[in-house]
Structure 1
């Protein structure tokens, strides 16, 4: 009995302000009937720290520091969601909060404007973005008054949230440290002037990710660096027909969040290659990273700030990379240099397989037919779904895509495989004869210093 009363005493003593279950705030959960009727704007700011990782504290707009967990000297990250046509909370919120707090000791503030974002009328939600930004601006200014440096604020905005972040940054005279825009919304923002959308002047550093630029996302660059995975539109693993239901509409758009979370988790390192077009990237024309002053090409995602000063100096940089269908999304890239000695020019496609012990991974270089000319080196990009080391064998096959004979042969004087991820040595093979549609398996050797 004594232990029972002691437990009650301890429970009540902790009830003052230490995050009891009854004091935990929840993200607003609405339904389709709210979307049909429309919702009036109400902004709730939910605080998470390492001290209250699973128990959100609703912050007061008038007195941000009423909760002791909010530390003015810590970096602060805001998460701002986008349009919510059904009213349900975003499924990725809790995971994103967890990953951020595992990486760093932060104040993570979830901006819950579900009341205002939930509406079948998308244009009504768009009109609310300025009001949300004004609400956040006033709150941040109160934090600044208590000693929070604006340079330590990071705004992560998804879809409409990306433009909200831009409005906040503009309100604060570009003093925010960083804005990360995850597939910024396109409808109602495309074609608008910079003061009506996100742009690079809204923060000290702006990085943007485009995953659905042909539908819900924004097509043109918006940041100091813009990432276009898989070209910026159709993402691998996402459905291609409306028969798949709601996933058809949101999968490409939401992939931006999952790619960014992968980068926080550091499950792999995704190199992003500056290039004019995605086709040029696939053609292997943009694989030289020497221009980045010894740092190499930027790494996509959370850690791109290592290149911040250089990217701000360069202006706007557009980058491309390809991903897997699943997490980890990173692919392993090789530059493939081939010298052929057919007297006549051959056009065709290649498939490579890397073998290591009992595992293998393959890459198809088939986005367009490559031209192979006599004694002329052809550089191509091969992308594998994982990194296998050591590479014990390589399989290589050639095809033209012609349905009718004749079957051609490709005479390879030298093939060189240079890994672009990591520091493994290039691998070579000399004097191969590829018959169309027939696989050749060989054991690669370390490349020599000679041209051939």
Structure 2
């Protein structure tokens, strides 16, 4: 019976799935932050009533430093809160933003936090917008992306205004819907430009290439980068940042097996990014165009670039590389 149900869901997703930028109704199968599968109607006739979300009160921030690497301190945009915490004034700041039906405790956050604190004495701030991202209806969570980005932008401006941290020392990393929250964060800061935004397989459903003001875009920081691992399914397909990396051509990932709904490939982006923070071995070759990614034929232009890491880069374009099926993923 279970096999019959799985087969039915696969068929249903295939019948009602269309290219990401299509205006036609579409169903998709996706996996939440706890690994549970959901059949999602991306164009429902009747949307269920969801709990209210006030981004200004329901979004909160957990600080991790080398003084408290595993036990977060909840901080707010008040001087008292920052000064009573382990926040290192003038230090580098890294914001981590989770995706749909997830929270600050989702497994990618402690893993990525650990890598940053190994690299340096960072202020790692894990954003929790789980009240907004936890809507059972994907559309509701998707529509809360913009206002959540505004809240994070306000916090970054507060840190800059009070000389706790500058925009040039601030990077933002987001997964799936969180990548688009990162984009809105960059659009809404008022006191400067964020140094870098790293998007881990930005969500594809209900985001459009022709509407850059509503998604992560190239102009949202001094440097923007995306790791595409489930392009055209759960992840956004086309390049939208300064550098766009397509491991294994960006749609399916080795080691994921029969990846129903693309959840394994989608989440792989966070594993690749966290490993890259302390590794320069993700060597990729530049492709002549995105069309070579689609055709899965990238001979290379002779230019190479390192995927991920922590720094803004001068490289531009679309890049391809192969990775291993399990950690360590880098082959370079």
Classify the TM-score, shorter chain.
Answer: 0.7 to 0.9
| Native 8 Å contact 2:93 2:124 kept in 1 | yes
1:232-311 paired onto structure 2 within 5 Å: 232-240=250-258, 242=260, 248-266=261-279, 269-275=281-287, 276=289, 277-278=292-293, 285-286=299-300, 288-289=302-303, 297-303=304-310, 305=312, 308=313, 310-311=314-315
- Aligned with residue 96 of structure 1, among 102, 108, 112: 112
Distance 1:253 1:146, change over 3 A: same
| Native 8 Å contact 2:281 2:331 kept in 1 | no
| Native 8 Å contact 1:298 1:304 kept in 2 | no
CA deviation map 1:44-94 (0-9, x unaligned): 100001111111101123445143411230010000011117x79422221
In the aligned structure 2, how far is the partner of 1:135 from the partner of 1:49? 22
2:137 matched residue in structure 1: 121
1:374 matched residue in structure 2: none
| Native 8 Å contact 2:96 2:125 kept in 1 | yes
Higher relative contact order (CA 8 A, sep 6+): 2
RMSD: 2.5
1:105-184 paired onto structure 2 within 5 Å: 105-147=121-163, 148-172=165-189, 175-184=193-202
In the aligned structure 2, how far is the partner of 1:197 from the partner of 1:186? 10
Aligned residues: 279
- Aligned with residue 248 of structure 2, among 230, 236, 244: 230
Kindly name which structure, 1 or 2, has the bigger radius of gyration based on alpha carbons.
1
- Say which SS state the counterpart of residue 197 (structure 2) adopts: strand
Q: CA deviation at 1:218?
A: 0.5
- Say which SS state the counterpart of residue 272 (structure 1) adopts: strand
5+ unaligned residues in a row in structure 1: which ranges? 1-28, 243-247, 290-296, 333-452
Q: CA deviation at 1:279?
A: 7.5
Q: CA deviation at 1:241?
A: 5.3
- Aligned with residue 58 of structure 1, among 56, 74, 92: 74
Structure number with the higher strand fraction is 1
5+ unaligned residues in a row in structure 2: which ranges? 1-32, 37-47
Runs of 4+ in structure 1 deviating by more than 6 angstroms, as ranges, are 29-32
- Say which SS state the counterpart of residue 328 (structure 1) adopts: coil
Distance 1:228 1:105, change over 3 A: same
1:317 matched residue in structure 2: 317
